[in-house]
Amino acid sequence: MYKDGLKSGDQVDLSGMLNLFDLEKMAERKMTTMAYEYVASGAADEWTLRWNREALDAIKLKPTVLSDVSQLDTRVTLFGHELPYPILIAPTAYHKLMHPEGELATARGAGAASAVYVVSSFTTTPLSDIAEAATQPLWFQLYVRDDREFTKDIVQEAEAHGYRVLCVTVDTAVTGVRNRQQRANFTLPDDMQTPHMPGSLLEQKPLTWKDIEWLQSFAKTPVLLKGILNPDDAEKAVQAGVSGIIVSNHGGRNLDTVPATIEALPRIAEKIDRRIPVLMDGGIRRGTDVVKAIALGASAVLVGKPVCFGLASAGAEGVAKVMEILRNELELTMALTGRASLAHIDRSVIW
């Protein structure tokens, strides 16, 4: 939903977009109030939404000088695949709200930026079409429905189209209090469909560990649990045999006053003790944030809202711009803190 009649193929000048905050401002000008509020808002009084940023800002870096940073190595291997840098596109819903080409533009932008794109269950574009447009690996985010056959079919469809990892959202037994979204009278246009997930979040199944066991009984791809904040749950995830976890508070959109993900991360990483990869989302806006997350135990991070704003600003080019800005800032931060590779980023880089 866009104010200025944005059409497929329109060219947008992004030369003045120096950081992710610039792109958000551009997106706000282009999007309808309803669409912008949907992306930007959080739950209830939005404490957690703010804490995600404030907690990252409060962490100070401790650089070391005179290290050889002439060659920087940002590669990371996740679930058998090497990624050129440790920043992924998080799953977010309803991309046609942000741009006419929707998830196709996101996939093309991810391809241009050599980034993994995690496609939402609430995609407004069929999984098959996204797979055709993609030139980089795709993962799939799953909401489990009451109908097990329906759920099994969508998992197997994603696998058939080459989606490499299954990210199961586990923090949404019910939808949170979203007052700001309600005030904006959020609703999908009549002509906008979610082909793989009819209905709303209210129709999702409250999950138990038995459901995770059931999913793993037939899934051929690695299974990740997205939405872990409690270290005890992280331990249960390891015991359940999942391939990885994503430390997430749903972008501050579900339960307000839970901690920022960067605060939960080190406790969970300590509990996991490198047995499985730990990823993190929530509040990432700068390359310095990426370094802080890796230093505190993350193998990689995911970004959601900024990608939506890049998509709204300039389609595929805007998505690529978001990822390229973050990648460049990550490299600059590594050089300026004296860390030549991700393996050299540990707690010693935190003041």
Q: Given this model, what pLDDT does residue 280 score?
A: 98
CA proximity to 286, closest of 17, 53, 48: 53
Binding site: residue ranges?
A: 38, 91-93, 120, 141, 143, 169, 178, 226, 248, 250, 253, 281-285
DSSP state of 163: -
Q: Given this model, what pLDDT does residue 4 score?
A: 54
Q: Given this model, what pLDDT does residue 206 score?
A: 83
Check whether domain 20-57+72-334 has CATH 3.40.50.300, yes or no: no
Q: Would you call 177 helix, strand, or coil by DSSP?
A: coil
Rg of the chain in Å (alpha carbons):
19
Buried b (16+ CB within 10 A) or exposed e, 245-278: bbbbbbbbbbbbebbbbbbbbbbbbebbeeebbb
Q: Would you call 300 helix, strand, or coil by DSSP?
A: strand
Binding site for FMN: residue ranges?
A: 91-93, 120, 141, 169, 226, 248, 281-285
The two beta strands, 300-303 and 117-119, are unpaired
196 is catalytic: no
Task: Map tokens 């739950």 to a residue.
Answer: 43
Catalytic site residue from 161, 196, 250, 344: 250
One-letter amino acid for residue 73 of the chain? D
Binding site for glyoxylate: residue ranges?
A: 38, 143, 178, 250, 253
pLDDT along the chain (351 residues), means of 10: 56 92 97 96 97 98 97 97 98 97 98 98 97 98 92 97 98 91 93 87 78 97 98 98 98 97 98 98 98 98 98 98 98 98 98 97
